[in-house]
A = this chain, B = another copy of it.
Amino acid sequence: MKTIKPVQNLIDEFRKLPTIGPKTAARLVYFLLRAPEEESLRLAEAVTSLKQQTVVCSRCFNVAESDPCEICSDENRQQGVICVVEEPLDVLAIENTGKFHGVYHVLGGVINPIAGIGPEELRINELMGRLSYGDIGEVILAMNPTMEGEATAMYIKKQVQSLPAIALAKVGEKFQPKAGPPLAEKVKSLEGIKITRIARGLPTGGDLEYADSVTLSRALEGRTEF
């Protein structure tokens, strides 16, 4: 016996969460033991309703209260600009800047052959669907500047660039869509999709002296007129 069951139980549950080790888990539990009961009940309630009150948006795959989500159904946002991110948490980070007024596409991860995650495990086909059938002007690739993030960005870029050829093949087949613009026009609009990648460089407050050489190279390459 190390401690009583209800305490050990909650310690074990907390330990399953990321960044929480055995010591932190114990601290959290003993904090809740001292706190008024309403506190723990509010926490339990919030945990329970998290899953019950959320859905995954079928368009952008972000966590949402409704489907399509608030962002996808907001007419004041630029529905023709899609920012592609790895995780729902990245949407939160970008929303917090208040600088982006387009919509999102959550991949659900990055291509990582070592972990057995290929393009099929991600929402890349769904992204291509949105590009093929919607009127999209720009795709911003906002994956993390990691090896896997870069590889995923490269893969998506090639996929987007192959879209006109795929549509053109259908023109050759003399297939014409029943609704919307004729296929030839569609091919032209697919060719016009701008693909951008978020800037890499020194973080604000960063120090040139301590920056790694890859970051510094990127900062030089990406220099802008001042």
Q: Is A1 an interface residue (CB 8 A)?
A: yes
Given A53-B6, A96-B2, A42-B13 contact (CB < 8 Å):
yes
- Report B-chain residues with C-beta under 8 Å of the C-beta of A29: 50
- Report B-chain residues with C-beta under 8 Å of the C-beta of A43: 13-14, 16, 47
B18 & A63 in contact (Cβ 8 Å cutoff): no
A44 to B144 CA separation, bound complex (whole angstroms)? 32
Q: Is A49 an interface residue (CB 8 A)?
A: yes
Chain B residue with Cβ nearest A35 = B16
Given A27-B18, A54-B7, A2-B44 contact (CB < 8 Å):
no
A48 & B54 in contact (Cβ 8 Å cutoff): no
| A84-92, A147-155, A167-175: which lies at the interface | A84-92
Q: Is A95 an interface residue (CB 8 A)?
A: yes
B54 & A6 in contact (Cβ 8 Å cutoff): yes
Q: Is A223 an interface residue (CB 8 A)?
A: no
A21 to B87 CA separation, bound complex (whole angstroms)? 20
A39 to B13 CA separation, bound complex (whole angstroms)? 8
CB distance from A21 to the nearest CB of B (A): 10
B33 & A88 in contact (Cβ 8 Å cutoff): yes
Chain B residue with Cβ nearest A91 = B3
Q: Is A40 an interface residue (CB 8 A)?
A: yes
A209 to B95 CA separation, bound complex (whole angstroms)? 49
Interface of A toward B, CB cutoff 8 Å? 1-7, 9-10, 12-14, 16-20, 24, 26-33, 37, 39-54, 63-65, 70, 87-89, 92, 95-96
What 6 pairs between A and B have smallest CB-CB spacing? A6-B53, A44-B47, A10-B46, A44-B44, A44-B48, A13-B46
Apart from A7-B50, A10-B46, A27-B89: 10 A-B pairs, beta carbons within 8 A:
A3-B92, A4-B54, A4-B70, A29-B50, A33-B51, A33-B63, A37-B51, A40-B51, A44-B45, A44-B48
